[in-house]
Chains A and B, each alone.
Chain A
C-alpha cells in the first residue's frame, strides 16, 4: 500500500476528499442568490433592537427557543406564517436554534403587549406557574450599554449614521420612559426607580422580541 506509507500525501488526499462535499454543499451556496434573497419589506434592526438581540445571544435564549416556523400545518396553526429565507438577511448570526424547550419566537413580535413581556420575562412563573423558564428580572436592573451600538450597526452594514444611532436610542428611551407609555405600570414594577428614566437591558430585549416577524406580517398583509 503506497499511500499508507506517505503521511503528507495521505493528509493532502484526505483534505481533497473532505473538501468535495464542503465545496458543493457549503462554499458554492454561499454565492448563490437562493441563500441570500432580499426583500424591501425586511428592515434591519434598530440600534436598540440589535442590543436586545445581543442580550438574547448572551443569555443563550437560543438554547430553548427556536426562530423558524416550519411549513407544517400544526406549526403554522400554532405560530403563524412559516419562515422565509429573506427574513434572515440581517441575522448575523442566525438564531434558528435546535431545541424547542420553549415555544418558537419567529412570529412573536406584536403577539403580546410590552407589559406582558415585562411581567413574563421578570417572573415567568407568576404568569405560568409550572413554566421552567429561568426568571430574568435582573435584566431590568442593568442599564443598557450603548457604547458599541454604532460600531455594531455599522459592522453589520445597517447603514445608520452615528447621529441616527443616537437618535434611535434617544427615541426608544423617550418612548418607554414616557408617562403615556401603555406598558408603564409593568415596566415600573420590574425596573428599579433609579433606572426608570434610563434604558435597561430588559427594554432592549423586549424591543428585539417585538421586532421578530413584524416585517413579514406587513409583507403578508400587502399580498
Chain B
C-alpha cells in the first residue's frame, strides 16, 4: 500500500471504540428488553428501566454511532482529499476525550443525571465536553479540506461537512440550559416551546447522525467495494441539497395532536412526505449503481450488506413520513410500532452499512486480510434475521396496542383497561428479546471477526 503519511491509528482507535460501545449498548438493550416482560431485573436504582433506557440509547447513539462515524470520516476524509490529517495529535486527543466522555456519560446516566430531553439527556458539563470533541473533529475536517491535494470534493465529503455544521447548530441550541449545580440544570425553554426545540433536535440528530454520515459511508464504500461508479452524480447532488433543506422542517411530526400549534405540526407533516424524494434519490442511486452486476449479491459479501442496508433505509424513509400523517399518527404514536420503526433504521440500515464499511476499511488500514468471509456472512444473516424478527414483532405489537386503546363497547365505553393493553404484549416482548439475542450473537461474530483480523500476521507485500 502506498498510504504513507495517512493517519490510520486514529481510524482504528475509533473503529474498535465503536465495537466496544456497540457490545455494551446491546447488553443494556437486552437487559431492558427483559425488564419489559419481567420487572424482576430492576434490581437496583441503577438498573431500573427508566435509567437504563437512556444508557441504551446514548450508549449506542453517542458511543457506537459517533465512534463509527468518526472512524469512517477520518478515513474517507484522508482518502478523498489524498491528504493526511492536518492535525494527527489533535485527532488522537479527540479519540481519548471521546471515550472518556462516553464512559462519564454512561456513569452519569446510570446515576440518574438525566435532563430527560430525548437523545440530549446529558447534563451540562458533559454537553460542553461533547461540543469540545466535535470542535476538535471539525478543525481536522476543515483544516484537511483546505489543505487537500484532490481538488474536487466527492459526495461523501459533502455529507461529512453538512453533518458537522448541522450537529453544531442542533446540539448547542438544544442544550442551552441554566445550571443549578454541577449535576443539575434546567433548560432555557418551557412547555410547548421546549417540546418544539427538543423534537427539532431529536429528529434531526437522528437525521444528521443516523442518516447523513451513513450516506457518506454508503456513497464512498459501495463504489469501492463493488468497483462500480455511483450511477448518477446529478441525482446525488439533488438528493443532498433537498435532504439538507427538508429535514429541519419535520421535527414536529413527533408532536402530532399535542398542544403545539397546529400549523407547525402540519408543516412538519408536509415536509415529511417531501423527504421521501431525496431519501429515495439515494436508494435509487444505490440500486442503479449495481445495474447489470447484481450477481455481486452472491459473489461479494460486502455488496449484500450495502444493498440490504439501503433497502432498510428505503423502507424506513417510507414508513417514517407515513406514520407522521396526523390520522395514522393518532393510531401509531406512543405504541411499540414506533419502537419497531426506529430499530429497523438502527439495526438494519445503520449497522449494516457500518459493518460493511468496517469490513472494507479495517483490513486495508492494518494491511491484513479479513479473518473470515464465512463469519462475515454468518454475521450478515444473524443480524438480518434478528433485526427483521425484532421489528416485525414490534409492528404487530404496536398495531395491537393501538387498536386496544381505541376499542369501545357498543355503549361507547372503553373495552380494555390500560393494564390489559400492556400485559397482552408480553408474548411479543419475549419474541423481541429472543430476536435481540440472535442479533447480539451476530454482533459478537462481527467483533470477533475484526479482532481476529488485526491479530493476524500482516501481509508480506507491504510497500
Contacts and interface: CB of A to CB of B under 8 A. Distances in A.
Interface stretch (A71-79, A111-119, A180-188): A71-79
A124 B191 CA distance: 30
A189 interface: no
Interface string A31-60: 010111000000000000000001001111
Given A85-B192, A155-B178, A22 B169 contact: yes
Given A7-B146, A18-B162, A132-B37, A78 B414 contact: yes
Interface in B190-234: 190-198, 200
Interface in B308-364: 330, 334-336, 338-339
A92 B186 contact: yes
Contacts of A70: 257-258, 330
Contacts of A102: 418, 422
Contact of A29 (B241, B257, B261, B413): B261
Given A87-B259, A98-B334, A103-B418, A134 B35 contact: yes
A25 B189 contact: no
B186 A93 contact: yes
Contact of B258 (A7, A21, A68): A68
Contacts of A61: 50
B437 to A, nearest CB: 19
A146 interface: no
Given A11-B142, A18-B165, A57-B116, A89 B191 contact: yes
Contacts of B157: 7
Contacts of A57: 114-116
Given A68-B259, A134-B35, A14 B51 contact: no
Contacts of B145: 7
B245 A60 contact: no
Contact of B186 (A59, A63, A138, A156): A156
A135 B41 CA distance: 11
Candidate in A72, A92, A133, A135 with the most chain B CB atoms within 10 angstroms: A92
Nearest to A131: B419
Contacts of A99: 334-336, 338-339
A65 B311 CA distance: 33
A113 B273 CA distance: 46
Contact of A88 (B180, B192, B198, B271): B192
Interface stretch (B6-14, B246-254, B280-288): B246-254
Interface size class of B (residues with CB under 8 A): 35 or more
Nearest to A90: B190
A25 B200 contact: yes
Contact of A30 (B37, B51, B193, B339): B193
A221 interface: no
B94 interface: no
A99 to B, nearest CB: 6
B196 A35 contact: yes
A59 B54 CA distance: 10
Nearest to A68: B258
A18 B142 contact: no
Contacts of B180: 148, 151-152, 155
B249 A5 contact: no
B142 A21 contact: no
Given A8-B146, A34-B261, A74 B405 contact: yes
Given A74-B414, A83-B259, A63 B49 contact: yes
A98 B186 contact: no
Interface string A136-153: 101000000000100110
Contact of B48 (A34, A36, A59, A72): A59
A30 B194 CA distance: 9
Interface of A: 1, 4-5, 7-8, 10-11, 14-15, 17-22, 24-26, 29-30, 32, 34-36, 54, 57-64, 66, 68, 70-72, 74-75, 77-78, 83-85, 87-103, 124-125, 128, 130-136, 138, 148, 151-152, 155-156
Given A17-B241, A25-B248, A62-B116, 10 more contacts: A18-B247, A21-B245, A35-B260, A59-B45, A74-B406, A75-B405, A92-B188, A99-B335, A100-B335, A124-B39
Interface of B: 35-39, 42, 45, 48-51, 53-54, 112-118, 142, 145-146, 148, 151-153, 157-158, 161-162, 164-166, 169, 173, 178, 180-181, 184, 186-198, 200, 241, 244-252, 254-255, 257-261, 264, 267-268, 271, 330, 334-336, 338-339, 405-408, 413-414, 418-419, 422-423, 426
22 contacts: A7-B142, A7-B157, A7-B161, A15-B169, A17-B244, A19-B169, A25-B249, A58-B112, A59-B112, A60-B49, A60-B50, A60-B116, A64-B49, A70-B257, A75-B405, A88-B259, A92-B186, A92-B194, A101-B36, A102-B418, A124-B39, A148-B180
